[in-house]
Each structure stands twice: as C-alpha cells, then as structure tokens.
Chains A and B, each alone.
Chain A
Amino acid sequence: DGGITQSPKYLFRKEGQNVTLSCEQNLNHDAMYWYRQDPGQGLRLIYYSQIVNDFQKGDIAEGYSVSREKKESFPLTVTSAQKNPTAFYLCASSSLDFTYEQYFGPGTRLTVT
C-alpha cells in the first residue's frame, strides 16, 4: 500500500535536546512538506522540498532543520533553539503537478518538558 509513514507517533523529550522526526513516503512524490499544528490552529508550514538535495523555509522555520537526501525521506530535526517545540507535527507529500492534493502522514505528537 502506498502512503506516508511518520514515526514515532508520540515523542517525549527534555528541554535542550535536539530530536529528529522521521517521514517516509512511497508514493513517488517529488514534493514533501513539514507542518506544525497547535491546538485550535491551522497548519503552519515549517519547511518544504520539491527535489532531492533542495529545500526551502516555510513560515516558521526558525529552530528547525531538514534534509532531503533521498526522494522518499524528509526528516525534520527540532533543535533546542525552537522556543515552543511541543506540538503536533505533520508531514505531507504531493506531486508537483497537483500540489493542492497533499497526502499526510499520521503525525507525531512531540512533548518537550
């Protein structure tokens, strides 16, 4: 079955630690995205990538980093510089021709204490 996987589903970290969230897709999509969702709020774009080895900052990139070494994978690192890292993180992918139709992974709930 084609789809997007994110792991882990729940993640707990101590303040000051970097943490990397995994995102893998087997839909053969060129574009991949990371969003953050806070309670009662919409999705805010952190980073996106349209091609391997290239990525662009979204609206709230500060405190985050990404890499795109393979088409299938787009990991997100939440660094200690991110002031409010506790949130629901969603990864998505799409074809370049149909960027409006984004397929989302199940998300990772990160709690930092």
Chain B
Amino acid sequence: RKEVEQDPGPFNVPEGATVAFNCTYSNSASQSFFWYRQDCRKEPKLLMSVYSSGNEDGRFTAQLNRASQYISLLIRDSKLSDSATYLCVVIRLDNAGNMLTFGGGTRLMVKP
C-alpha cells in the first residue's frame, strides 16, 4: 500500500461547481499535511496547509481527519483557472529530519 494515496481523476466539473478531493495516508506518525498545485508540465507550488481545525483560504478549504487518516481539499465556485493537478503532501519526522511524501495527484478539469 502506498504511503499517500489520491484518486487520480480526472474530475471534470462545470464552472461554478463545488468539488472535493480526498487523500489518505497510511503512517499514523505523520505530523503535517499540505496541498500543492501543479499546472500541466510545470513545477508544483505550495497551495495551503492543512490543520485539524480546518484551514480556509478564499474558495479553498482544507481539512484533516486524523482518526480516519485522510485530508481533504474543497474548492467552491470553481474557475477555469483552477484546472490543475492537486498533490497532497504528508510529512513525518524520522532520523534524517522531516520527510515529505507526495501523493500521485488528483487532476481537476473545470469546463465552461
């Protein structure tokens, strides 16, 4: 089983729709969680952090469920520019320091 798993999609949604992605992680020692965005054939960029209490940034809301070991990303009022691949990132601490593990990404396509 992969340490971090995501539904690869693609999720095809119309403009204005609300869409949610989940990401599950297997290592209960994981400490920190983030969402990155990657546009087609470009480098990933940090989108937002994920906290147990939830984290909202404009139309984006990230949530962590430690009991079920998953994180989620909710996008409201989707825009064409939201089309991208969303990567979840899980961090755990080991002997070498903080170790990041990236999920395979979920592809979102927002259509007019």
Contact = CB atoms under 8 A, between A and B. Distances in A.
Interface of A: 35, 40-45, 50, 56, 90, 96, 99-102, 104-107
A99 B100 CA distance: 8
Contacts of B42: 106-107
A96 B96 CA distance: 12
Interface string B31-57: 010100000001111100100000000
A100 B91 contact: yes
B87 A43 contact: yes
B25 to A, nearest CB: 12
Contacts of B43: 90, 104-107
B44 A100 contact: no
Interface residues of B, number: 23
Contacts of B104: 40-42
Contacts of B96: 56
B100 A42 contact: no
B26 interface: no
A105 B100 CA distance: 17
Interface in B60-112: 87, 89, 91, 96-98, 100-105
Nearest to A9: B41
A103 B89 CA distance: 14
Given A42-B87, A99-B98, A104 B34 contact: no
